[in-house]
């Protein structure tokens, strides 16, 4: 008698090739229309499913877990996992996984590009040009900040932070300083050309501050009005980490009042909604959470999420686990 395949749910549209590979192992319900499901809809569709492939937007918390007793694994197609309640998942015996490493260099590329666009006022000057306002040259027209030789500050020095540090130190001759929950070993600091400083020193000394720390309750509003007040008025702030790390309302005020020079934001509180005040200030570059958005990288992320589902539901061992389930 043929053994029945485990059932899984793919919560958002992903590469068809990945869906086909999953179908070799599972009874797959896929969201080919890429509909945005409410929490109740998600719970309804997850009934009887052993696994779910999430994309970072679907919340897997105590309420969903209670409603879906058959769930054994949630595989996030993202390196961040603030959509997962790891404590609740561990207690319920549900494996959580993410997709580290495969997006490191692509995201570091984007973070550095966003920082440069912010420093050199690229979006602001493009809007000016598109509006037909460019009539003549002027010596100080959209004069921005230097990148080469300036001080790059990094808050959060994991894989992506280290990638940004290497780009700054080796490619642009920047002085790199960083603050992290724990200091890197000496060899890694040398490889990154980076010097550890306190958070206060980081805020006060950085010409360009880049945020790459994971979101958690302890990092909520890690950059708020008090922190922005410590930055140089000529400094820029770039956030490619997670929404909620920056107090967006306080940032909008600081930008409007030129307490800092500019900001580049790829993530926002409550995204895809964003603070409307950010749309009214000219000195900000806004992108819709696309730091990992190259086709090869997104394919690698989807493949790793699928590999985690396959490995765990066939062998009991995930490839990139975030927790050690204890509830089953």
Tens of pLDDT, residue by residue over 291-305, are: 999 999 999 999 999
Strand partners, 239: 211, 265
Q: Check whether 278 has a pLDDT greater than 80.
A: yes
Fold that domain 7-102+295-315 belongs to in CATH: Rossmann fold (3.40.50)
* Helix/strand/coil for 119: helix
Report the distance separating Cα 88 and Cα 96, nearest Å.
Answer: 11
What pLDDT score does 56 carry?
A: 86
Average the pLDDT over 4-27 and give the result.
97
What pLDDT score does 326 carry?
A: 83
Q: Check whether 167 has a pLDDT greater than 70.
A: yes
Where does the chain hold its CATH 3.40.50.720 domain(s)?
Answer: 7-102+295-315, 104-286
Q: Check whether 1 has a pLDDT greater than 90.
A: no
Q: Check whether 286 has a pLDDT greater than 70.
A: yes
* Helix/strand/coil for 210: strand
Q: What percent of the chain has pLDDT over 70?
A: 99
Contacts 24+ apart (CB under 8 A), 297-301: 297/102, 297/103, 297/106, 298/15, 299/15, 299/18, 300/99, 300/102, 300/103, 301/77, 301/78, 301/99, 301/102, 301/103
Average the pLDDT over 108-136 and give the result.
97
Average the pLDDT over 310-324 and give the result.
97
**Which residue has tokens 């540090």?**
165
Q: What is the DSSP letter of 280?
A: S
Angle in degrees, CA 162, 117, 264, rounded to 5:
70
* Helix/strand/coil for 15: coil
Q: Check whether 328 has a pLDDT greater than 60.
A: no
What pLDDT score does 3 carry?
A: 73
For CA atoms 237, 243, 244, 250, the dihedral sign is positive
Are 294 and 300 in contact by the 8 Å Cβ rule? The answer is no
Residue 276 tokens, joined? 């409307």
What pLDDT score does 327 carry?
A: 59
**By CB neighbour count within 10 A (0-12 exposed, 13-18 middle, 19+ buried), where does 218 fall?**
exposed
User: What is the pLDDT confidence band of residue 281, given thresholds at 50, 70 and 90?
Assistant: very high
| Parallel/antiparallel/unpaired status of strands 194-196 and 175-179 | parallel
| Parallel/antiparallel/unpaired status of strands 194-196 and 95-97 | unpaired
Contacts 24+ apart (CB under 8 A), 285-288: 285/114, 285/117, 285/118, 285/122, 285/123, 286/123, 287/114
Average the pLDDT over 78-85 and give the result.
93
**Helical (H) or strand (E) element with 297:** helix 295-315
Report the mean per-residue pLDDT for the chain.
96
Q: Which CATH class is domain 104-286?
A: alpha beta
What pLDDT score does 207 carry?
A: 98
- Residues marked active site are found at 242, 271, 289
What's the pLDDT tens digit per position in 210-266?
A: 999 999 899 999 999 999 999 999 999 999 999 999 999 999 999 999 999 999 999
pTM for the model: 0.93
Residue 143 tokens, joined? 């004069």
Beta carbons within 8 Å of 262's beta carbon, 6+ residues apart: 118, 119, 121, 124, 144, 145, 236, 237, 255, 283, 284, 285
């Amino acid at each position: 008698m043929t053994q029945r395949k485990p059932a899984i749910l793919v919560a958002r549209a992903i590469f068809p090739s990945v869906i086909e590979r999953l179908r070799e192992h599972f009874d797959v319900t896929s969201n080919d229309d890429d509909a945005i499901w409410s929490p109740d809809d998600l719970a309804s569709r997850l009934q009887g499913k052993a696994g779910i492939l999430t994309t970072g937007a679907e919340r897997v918390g105590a309420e969903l877990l209670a409603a879906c007793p058959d769930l054994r694994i949630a595989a996030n197609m993202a390196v961040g996992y603030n959509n997962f309640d790891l404590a609740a998942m561990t207690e319920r015996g549900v494996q959580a996984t993410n997709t580290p490493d495969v997006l490191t260099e692509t995201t570091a590329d984007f973070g550095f590009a966003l920082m440069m666009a912010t420093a050199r006022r690229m979006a602001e000057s493009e809007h000016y040009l598109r509006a037909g306002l460019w009539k003549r040259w002027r010596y100080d027209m959209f004069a921005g900040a230097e990148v080469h030789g300036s001080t790059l500050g990094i808050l959060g020095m994991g894989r992506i932070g280290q990638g940004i540090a290497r780009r700054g130190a080796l490619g642009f001759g920047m002085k790199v300083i960083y603050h992290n929950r724990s200091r890197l070993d000496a060899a890694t600091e040398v490889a990154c050309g980076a010097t550890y400083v306190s958070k206060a020193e980081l805020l006060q000394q950085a010409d360009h501050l880049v945020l790459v720390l994971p979101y958690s309750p302890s990092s909520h509003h890690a950059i708020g009005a008090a922190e922005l007040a410590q930055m140089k008025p000529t400094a820029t702030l770039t956030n490619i980490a997670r929404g909620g790390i920056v107090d967006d309302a306080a940032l909008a005020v600081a930008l409007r009042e030129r307490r800092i020079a500019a900001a580049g934001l790829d993530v926002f509180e409550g995204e895809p909604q964003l603070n409307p005040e950010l749309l009214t200030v000219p000195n900000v570059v806004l992108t819709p959470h696309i730091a990992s958005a190259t086709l090869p990288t997104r394919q690698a992320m989807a493949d790793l999420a699928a590999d985690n589902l396959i490995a765990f539901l066939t062998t009991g061992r995930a490839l990139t686990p975030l927790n050690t389930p204890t509830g089953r």
